[in-house]
């Protein structure tokens, strides 16, 4: 079973990380991402992978500017928490990747498949 963050938890994370109350600009994209995490691809016989889910989560938050500010920080932080709670450790070899990657997502330079591949490349399966 995949762990999925709730909207209230995301708001708490936002307030703790950014230091201000949540102000949405496009809340519907966050709700859409959470629905995707929960339900996956509609009408698909194939199970949606953890990589599909984390890619949609960060893309929707960062590229679609869910919040008034702090989207890149919250996007990568929430991706880290999502992966960690689901048994993966986000561990890029170059620490600067944590800053470059959300910027590329925000600019729309990466497709969903490229975002998925970035997470696959920079994540380790944790021992259970």
Q: What is the pLDDT of residues 27-53, one digit of tens each?
A: 999 999 999 999 987 767 778 999 999
Whether the predicted pLDDT of 57 surpasses 90? yes
Q: What is the DSSP string of 50-72?
A: HHHHHHHHHHHHHHTT-BSS-HH
User: What ranges do the domains of the chain cover?
Assistant: 7-125
- Average pLDDT over all residues of the chain: 95
Per-residue pLDDT averaged across 4-20, rounded? 97
CATH architecture of 7-125: Up-down Bundle (1.20)
Per-residue pLDDT averaged across 42-69, rounded? 92
Phi and psi at residue 53, in whole multiples of 5°? Answer: -65, -45
């Amino acid at each position: 079973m995949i762990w999925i963050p709730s909207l209230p938890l995301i708001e708490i994370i936002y307030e703790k990380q950014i230091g201000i109350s949540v102000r949405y600009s496009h809340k519907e994209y966050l709700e859409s991402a959470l629905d995707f995490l929960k339900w996956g691809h509609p009408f698909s016989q194939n199970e949606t992978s953890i990589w599909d889910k984390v890619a949609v989560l960060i893309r929707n938050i960062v590229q679609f500017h869910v919040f008034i500010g702090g989207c890149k920080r919250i996007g990568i932080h929430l991706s880290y928490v999502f992966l960690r709670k689901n048994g993966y450790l986000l561990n890029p070899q170059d620490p600067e990747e944590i800053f470059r990657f959300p910027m590329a997502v925000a600019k729309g330079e990466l497709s969903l498949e490229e975002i998925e591949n970035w997470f696959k490349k920079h994540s380790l399966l944790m021992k259970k």
